Amino acid sequence: MRHGTSSAPFYSLGEGPFATTHEAFVGIDEIDWSRPLADGDETAREDGRRTFVHRAVDEQRSLIAFSELLTALCQSGAPIDVIGSLTRVVRDEALHVDLCDRMVRRLGGWPEAAPTPRIVSLPAKWSLEQRVLATILGSLCVGETISVALLARARGNATDPVAHEVLTRMLADESFHSRFGFWWLDAFPRSDGAQAFAERFVARILRSVVVDFLPTQTGAEHRDTRYGGVAAEARREAVVEAIEKTVVPSFERAGISAQKSWALAQAEETDAS
């Protein structure tokens, strides 16, 4: 049985040996999906559906990015316990795609025109080492730490018990993904070239955080909702707090200059506005 519409960026078989294996592996049925929605408020349900559509697409993007990282680490001869730990990250993202897909279907199904994941390709001329480092710094250290902050706010808003449980599971997993990134920085010394690359890349990522996350966004998916939406101003606060309390100090502890880059990125935003 094909779940979702052709506009969804993925689908599940929903039955048979692949479904059974996947469900047991990710533990998706630990959540009781049979519980009814809290009430019949159409606006809240529609807001919730849009929130989980966007979340599902983001999770699909993470699944692709970390699958590519897993391949890159295997090719570069990374230690097997690091590779084993990363397979957990990939498994978690497959679970998150499924969790968000089930929430979308629970809240009314996929819209005809669903967004597609925005895949950011790293420059082909970069070495394998540079591509690995860029994904660790950008997607794990920065991206997953921002996810933790946003999911914590989302869970705080979620009074629907199924949404709350889904967000609790995602929050726990994303927290591990963020730590994986910083563990990597501690575990592997960098050459002078890699160090210079890391500092340039961190500056670039922090500028993109300012551009992508800090402008106050409007729209139904950014309102507080019982299904775990987060209002625009709260999103901005959560992102700034995550960068200033976790990301920047953790990079500085790992020997990567980030404080000055963050100050510069914010100053550029102020100049532009």
* Contact status: 177 vs Fe ion (CB under 5 A): yes
Residues that contact Fe ion, how many (by CB under 5 A): 6
Between residue 49 and residue 68, which ones bind Fe ion under the rule CB under 5 A? Answer: 59, 62
How near is the Cβ of 193 to Fe ion at its closest, in Å? Answer: 28
Single residue of 174, 221, 222, 227 touching Fe ion by CB under 5 A: 174
Closest to 121 measured CA to CA, from 113, 131, 110, 107 = 131
Query: Tokens 């700034």 correspond to what residue?
Result: 240
Q: Smaller CB distance to Fe ion: residue 37 or 89?
A: 89
Q: Smaller CB distance to Fe ion: residue 47 or 174?
A: 174
Determine if residue 111 is left, alpha or beta; phi over 0 gives left, psi from -120 to 50 gives alpha, anything else beta: beta
Contact 257, 199 (CB under 8 A): yes
Contact 9, 68 (CB under 8 A): no
How near is the Cβ of 96 to Fe ion at its closest, in Å? Answer: 4
Q: Smaller CB distance to Fe ion: residue 47 or 59?
A: 59
How near is the Cβ of 17 to Fe ion at its closest, in Å? Answer: 25
* Contact status: 131 vs Fe ion (CB under 5 A): no
How near is the Cβ of 269 to Fe ion at its closest, in Å? Answer: 26
Rg (CA), the chain: 19
> What is the C-alpha to C-alpha distance for residues 69 and 212, in angstroms, rounded to an integer?
23
- Residues 6+ positions from 156 with CB-CB distance below 8 Å: none
Q: Smaller CB distance to Fe ion: residue 59 or 165?
A: 59
How near is the Cβ of 167 to Fe ion at its closest, in Å? Answer: 11
Determine if residue 162 is left, alpha or beta; phi over 0 gives left, psi from -120 to 50 gives alpha, anything else beta: alpha
Q: Which CA distances in Å does 162 have to 81, 102, 149?
A: 34, 10, 20
Between residue 68 and residue 107, which ones bind Fe ion under the rule CB under 5 A? Answer: 93, 96
Q: Smaller CB distance to Fe ion: residue 99 or 206?
A: 99
Contacting positions for Fe ion (CB under 5 A): 59, 62, 93, 96, 174, 177
